[in-house]
Structure 1
Amino acid sequence: MDFTYVLLNILMFFGLLGFVFFLAKKHLKFSYRVLIALAIGLVFGAVLQLIYGMDNKILLDTVEWISVVGSGFIRLLQMIVIPLVFISILGAFAKMDIEEKFFKSGVKIISILLGTTAIAAIIGILTAVIFNLDASNINLGDAENAHGITIETRATEVADQTLPDQLVSLLPANPFLDFTGERPTSTIAVVIFAAFLGFSLIQLLKQKPEIGEKVSSGIIAVNEWIMQLVKIILRLTPYGILAIMTVTVATSDFKAAVDLGMFVVASYVALITMFIVQLIIIAITGLSPLMYIRKTLETLIFAFTSRSSAGTLPLNIQTQTTRLGVPASVANFAGSFGLSIGQNGCAGVYPAMLAMMVAPLAGVELDAKFIITLIAVTVMASLGIAGVGGGATFAAIIVLSTMNLPVVLAAVLISVEPLIDMGRTALNVSGSMVAGTVTARTNGTLDKDMYNDGSFDELTAQV
């Protein structure tokens, strides 16, 4: 009998997927299909939990099968992260004018990413104080305790590393190992490796132009090839989002979410505040914040629903180059560095708020020295954050362990992680686009006519 109900649920799920496919055949805009899939997943997941209950075997068996679609989509996103980052960086060098000052742009991009992360940490700290967040009021359940053990295990891998050691670990001693994504800092290691190859390409173009042009042409061709792969995977987004939302809602502990409701509200207050700061930065450079919102909204929606900064990278770069008027070289560097450096949401707001929550439970005094140290540590910990899932946890581990706070308490928020992570990811992606836009604007290379042009095509048709 249980199998019959599971089969019925799965058939209903595939019927919903068919409906989303029908919308695609009717040429409904991609962003609308993503939002509709999100809404369907939320409703379907809630209905499943309402009918069966969270721990019911029928529900658990159903979501296990539905997860094949959702988890499969996430794995496909993970599959393209390293190739996409690597070829995007190389492609930027291949398309770059030989006299273009990469170093100046790179320093600006990294400075903006780290500077905005410091601001995000300050906002996280202030929000935690205003909302009086305190982890001592939260009871850890079985899921939280199990997650805490996992976090402690991961913490042992970085606990013995000093800050200089962590900085050295960013460098690619074995780039082929980093291509496997084996290390937490593999993404930034690949970026660094690609940058070195890019510098060597520039030298080759100067010393042996004929060979250099051949290499550049090959890189550009491979870049186009990879982008076609990205397009194929992005087209699966509505189906993946529907599955992910269904599983997330069907298996969510709503009681725990209610208990942690104050943290959820505080988190989104902090995230929205930081987004406003990003808009102020845009306005300071003489650009319209409203136009920025209008042109980046589709990409931010994708980031919000997919919860993947890396998966959003192609849309991120296309938004910058075809809507915001950012040169391709700057857009590629800002987008790729933004996957690993200074993520405002996952590496700024989140670990700072968590440390402020945990400190009272550990008996730590929240004085000026603690807060200044926390801001500095948060910024340094933001180096090398992964762009697909787990980045916020890794940042939290480094911050808590460096501040001598109990790492296991990073597990207190597991029940509301997916809900918060959607907002964090959107803020991360916006931060990298702001870095690219501001860098191009201050370099004098931003196409203002394109930025201010209110007419633009759908991004997925351009990827």
Structure 2
Amino acid sequence: MTSQNASPTPPRSDAPEQAAARASDRPRPSAWYTRFGPQILIALVVGLALGLLARATGHTEDTPTWLGEGLATLGSSYISLLRATVVPLVFFAVVASIANLAQVTNAARLAAKTLLWFALTSLVSVLIGVAVGAVVQPGVGTGQQAPTDYTAREVGWLDFLKGLIPANFLGLEASASVAESGAVSVSPDFNVLQVLVVSIAVGVAALKVGAKAEPFLSFSRSVLAVIQKVLWWIIRLAPLGTVGLLGNAVASYGWTTMGTLVKFVVAIYLGLALVLFVLYPALAKLHGLSVRQYFSGVWPAVQLGFVSRSSIGTLPVTQRVAERNFGVPTGYASFAVPLGATTKMDGCASIYPAIAALFVAQFFGIDLSLGQYALIVLVSVLGSAATAGTTGATVMLTLTLSTAGLPLEGMALLLAVDPIVDMGRTATNVAGQALIPALVAKQEHILDLDRYNAERADIMEDEEEIVDARRHDDTRSPVSAR
């Protein structure tokens, strides 16, 4: 028995050694040039320099040089990698996101609020686009007349609705072409709007089936995880893709050709800036959220969207921003963010088609009626899903011009600067896709405000930590919308 008067043996003090061991176990911050953000900035500079060099050495579309073709190949290869993941990513992401609603209390209310905010922000954005186009008037003063064979063309809503009906299970299509040598090439294509319709139907059906659909839903979640891992690898190649995309745009079009459309580009970026730096911060402020934290949190998605020009390609980062930086619950974020990546396009489906339609009308000296303005607004709000989250907004512009009865020939004028404006369009898209889930979560009192206001970490660096955090979130009780 130990005497009560005996003094206890003092513990050996090894705190310094333990602290040193813990410090050595911590991952050391990587050098600045190995981080994703600086890599993108370096790629922008390199792409611009190589594009100017290719242009200076005689590269044109008619007389391509090896440098110009190399940049074009590099850029198109990166876009092809992104496109290759679109169909399976959209299908399994939407199916899994709908299935995740089963874990969310008051899921119907969350879904309805999300769609309502998508529509409201799209409406405000397209009105901003119309106002900018009317004030700046980017197409006025050209002296051009409408094409002699031009007649007003209308695309009825019946035609639009027919486009929603899948021709096959996933809306896959293929076109064949015969080269001068006689070789036949088949180019596969897809209608992501139809993929979206099918995936929503399958997801809702799986919810209705109940327990019997669990193996299918588990398989869908597993496939989605694999696809997202592959897409993550592709995203890490974004600096290389940036060099090719920007370099090819500069080499192919040059500053002289682009200069004829400078006013249009300025109008587009003015409209995008009003949405990104006025509308979105105002919405965050009205919900009691820090504007500074919003911009610092959404920056990783914005910078990737800017260079990748693909909301779908940016989807994993946008979802991480919503969950990790903004504190949106995983169950709700996994529904709202994938849905937003395919349907919420304030840049591509609101600002761009509104200003582009006014530019085409002004370019050809066509006076728009109030009814045509109303059609532009209506199509932009209801037809945003047609942009499908992939690169470019040609489908949306076609729908807008056709419905408003404007010459489709005007689209050719805009293709030269499309890569330039598409960067800003997509950056604005993903900024809104991350914001709306945060606003709805704040309204429903399920937003983790401590995480929203916390110091930002580089979510492009700590993938394993994010996975661990997501597993921790998944072990919590289902989200409750109070």
Q: TM-score range by the shorter chain?
A: 0.7 to 0.9
How far off its partner does 1:183 sit? 11
Counterparts of 2:384 and 2:189, CA distance in 1? 12
The range that moved more, 87-96 or 116-125, is 87-96
1:110 corresponds in structure 2 to 115
1:91 aligns with 2:96: yes
Counterparts of 2:318 and 2:104, CA distance in 1? 25
After superposition, where does 1:140-289 map in structure 2 within 5 Å? 161-172=155-166, 174-178=168-172, 186-205=191-210, 208=211, 211-275=212-276, 276-289=278-291
CA contact (8 A) 2:171 2:195 kept: no
How far off its partner does 1:87 sit? 1.7
CA contact (8 A) 2:343 2:385 kept: yes
Counterparts of 1:195 and 1:179, CA distance in 2? 20
1:19 corresponds in structure 2 to none
Counterparts of 2:143 and 2:425, CA distance in 1? 22
The range that moved more, 450-459 or 315-324, is 450-459
Q: Closer, same or farther in 2 for the Cα pair 1:377/1:212, shift >3 Å?
A: closer
CA contact (8 A) 1:169 1:185 kept: no
CA contact (8 A) 1:187 1:339 kept: no
After superposition, where does 1:9-88 map in structure 2 within 5 Å? 28-52=34-58, 54=60, 57=63, 59-88=64-93
Q: Closer, same or farther in 2 for the Cα pair 1:179/1:290, shift >3 Å?
A: farther
The range that moved more, 177-186 or 355-364, is 177-186
AA paired with 1:337?
A: L
2:389 corresponds in structure 1 to 387
Q: Closer, same or farther in 2 for the Cα pair 1:56/1:403, shift >3 Å?
A: closer
Partner SS for 2:397: helix
CA displacement 1:312-337 (0-9 Å, x = unmatched): 11111111111111123432333322
Q: Closer, same or farther in 2 for the Cα pair 1:446/1:251, shift >3 Å?
A: same
1:18 corresponds in structure 2 to none
CA displacement 1:249-305 (0-9 Å, x = unmatched): 112231122222122111111110011212211221111121111011111011101
Q: Closer, same or farther in 2 for the Cα pair 1:212/1:374, shift >3 Å?
A: closer
Q: Closer, same or farther in 2 for the Cα pair 1:379/1:138, shift >3 Å?
A: farther
2:454 corresponds in structure 1 to 453
Q: Closer, same or farther in 2 for the Cα pair 1:45/1:99, shift >3 Å?
A: closer
Counterparts of 1:193 and 1:100, CA distance in 2? 25
1:317 corresponds in structure 2 to 319
CA contact (8 A) 2:304 2:314 kept: yes
How far off its partner does 1:33 sit? 0.8
Counterparts of 2:351 and 2:77, CA distance in 1? 29
The range that moved more, 74-83 or 339-348, is 339-348
Which residues of structure 2 form unaligned runs of 5+?
1-29, 176-186, 468-482
Under a length normalisation based on structure 1, what TM-score does the superposition of the two structures give?
0.82
CA contact (8 A) 2:349 2:383 kept: yes
Counterparts of 2:110 and 2:188, CA distance in 1? 27
CA contact (8 A) 1:66 1:243 kept: yes
1:337 corresponds in structure 2 to 339
Q: Closer, same or farther in 2 for the Cα pair 1:136/1:383, shift >3 Å?
A: farther
Partner SS for 1:137: coil
The range that moved more, 235-244 or 326-335, is 326-335
How far off its partner does 1:228 sit? 1.5
* Alignment match of 1:355 (pick from 351, 354, 357): 357
How far off its partner does 1:434 sit? 1.9
Counterparts of 1:170 and 1:327, CA distance in 2? 31
How far off its partner does 1:99 sit? 5.4
How far off its partner does 1:27 sit? 6.7
AA paired with 1:123?
A: I
AA paired with 2:138?
A: L
CA contact (8 A) 1:309 1:388 kept: yes
AA paired with 1:335?
A: V
CA contact (8 A) 1:94 1:217 kept: no
Alpha-carbon RMSD across the aligned residues, in angstroms, is: 3.1
CA contact (8 A) 1:377 1:399 kept: yes
Q: Closer, same or farther in 2 for the Cα pair 1:139/1:417, shift >3 Å?
A: farther
1:306 corresponds in structure 2 to 308
AA paired with 1:256?
A: T
CA contact (8 A) 2:322 2:328 kept: yes
How far off its partner does 1:362 sit? 5.2
Partner SS for 2:65: helix
The range that moved more, 214-223 or 238-247, is 214-223
CA contact (8 A) 1:300 1:430 kept: yes
CA displacement 1:358-378 (0-9 Å, x = unmatched): 234555434544433321232
1:4 corresponds in structure 2 to none
